[in-house]
Amino acid sequence: MIEVGPRLAVALVLLTVITALVVGFGQLGSRRSIPIAAARATLQLGAVSLLIAAIVSSLWFTALFVVAMVSTAAWTSGQRITRADRRRRRVTAALWAAVPIATGSLPIVLGLIAGGLVPVEGITIVPIAGILIGGAMTATSLAGRRALDELGTRRGEVEAALSLGFLDRDAALEICRPSAGQALVPALDQTRTVGLVTLPGAFVGVLLGGGSAVEAGATQLLVLVGLLAVESIAIVLVTELVARGKVRTAA
């Protein structure tokens, strides 16, 4: 277990500074986004750490927390995809982003609970739901941005497809779907290399919680395959929304 103390604080500050310097030197984006993200993570995890006992002790609080996770994921993904700069556009983007995120993750979570694989307890529902919702958010953001970028750079090909008699949706899908599908690559690679390259969080968490290595492996396998299902659904849905013009880059 990592000891909470001055050494942890120093390590976090150094890692944040290193990341910001590398981002700035490599011109990967705004250096300010790194310390802001680190500060937000510190505050949010601190708050959750203080509240988690109350959250997981009640199924009602657990359900509300899951809804909050979906809402936050939708807001984050909506802004990442559309780059909206006005509040109304941000709200609209978040509402559309909620469709692939919620549709991809919540039915899978409910199915695991209904099947008896996830106990009806807050302490198990919250981490499983968090992993799957987070996967849906990442897939939605990546696929949405890739699809919109592809449509923007290959506009001439879209117009060529339209001239051949394609409907707007079909022409857009013909161009953006292959690129959007690449958003599934990280989840595929993680699943293919698990145990050989990485030991993800669910595996380590079960071991630290006192479970056996077999139980840890089974839990991790369930999470990884669940993530593939969640992310594939999210990618298909956000690509469809982009093709239909529901999700678009802010003008």
What does the pLDDT look like over 56-113, one tens digit per residue? 888 899 999 999 999 999 999 999 888 877 888 889 899 999 999 999 999 999 999 9
CA 113/CA 130 separation, integer angstroms: 14
C-alpha distances (whole Å) from 24 to each of 15, 20, 33, 63 are 14, 6, 11, 40
For residues 192 and 228, what is the distance between their CA atoms, to the nearest angstrom? 11
The residues spanned by each domain of the chain are 1-54, 57-243
How do residues 216-249 score in pLDDT, each as one tens digit?
Answer: 788 888 888 999 999 999 999 999 999 998 988 7
Joined tokens for residue 251? 């003008």
- The residue-averaged pLDDT of 158-169 equals 88
Structure tokens at 197: 């390259």
What pLDDT is recorded for position 71?
95
**Phi-psi bin for 210: left (phi > 0), alpha (psi -120 to 50), beta?**
left
Q: What is the 3-state secondary structure (H, E, C) of 177-216?
A: HHHHHHHHHHHHHHHHHECCCECCHHHHHHHHCCCCHHHH
Question: Which pLDDT value is given to residue 207?
Answer: 67
Residue-level pLDDT at 5: 80
* Architecture of the structural domain at 57-243: Up-down Bundle (1.20)
Mean pLDDT score, 174-196: 87
pLDDT at residue 201 greater than cutoff 80: no
29: tokens are 């984006």
Q: How confident is the model at residue 208 (pLDDT cuts 50, 70, 90)?
A: low
* pLDDT, mean of residues 192-213: 73
